[in-house]
Amino acid sequence: MEKKPVQVGEVTHVYSKIGVAIVKFSKAVSVGETLHFKGHGDDFSQVIDSMQINHQQVEKVKKGDEAGIKVGDKVHEGDSVYLEE
């Protein structure tokens, strides 16, 4: 039986020129884990290389945090973010 992906957040803002997505997290996530972005034509996975909260580098985020993540592909506001096992 395949495990259903766990939604951990949603893209709230995109800085497309610098390739950064702002994600509002609903669960704790750490650098090194793999996120899956899915939404308006977006569907890709990537390992989190770095996250920032208020321009400060962080190793992990908790529920309720909003963090910037460098993304290697296009994302849009409202995209769902899942944690891959």
**Which pair of structure tokens corresponds to residue 5?**
């992906």
Q: At residue 40, does pLDDT exceed 90?
A: no
Q: What is the model's pLDDT at position 2?
A: 62
- The reported pTM is 0.92
**Range 6-84: architecture per CATH:** Beta Barrel (2.40)
Measured CA to CA, the distance from residue 24 to residue 51 in angstroms comes to: 12
The mean pLDDT value for 66-82 works out to 96
pLDDT digits (tens, 9 = 90+) for 47-65: 999 999 999 999 999 999 9
Measured CA to CA, the distance from residue 41 to residue 16 in angstroms comes to: 16
**Which pair of structure tokens corresponds to residue 49?**
């290389």
Q: At residue 41, does pLDDT exceed 90?
A: no
Mean pLDDT of the chain: 94
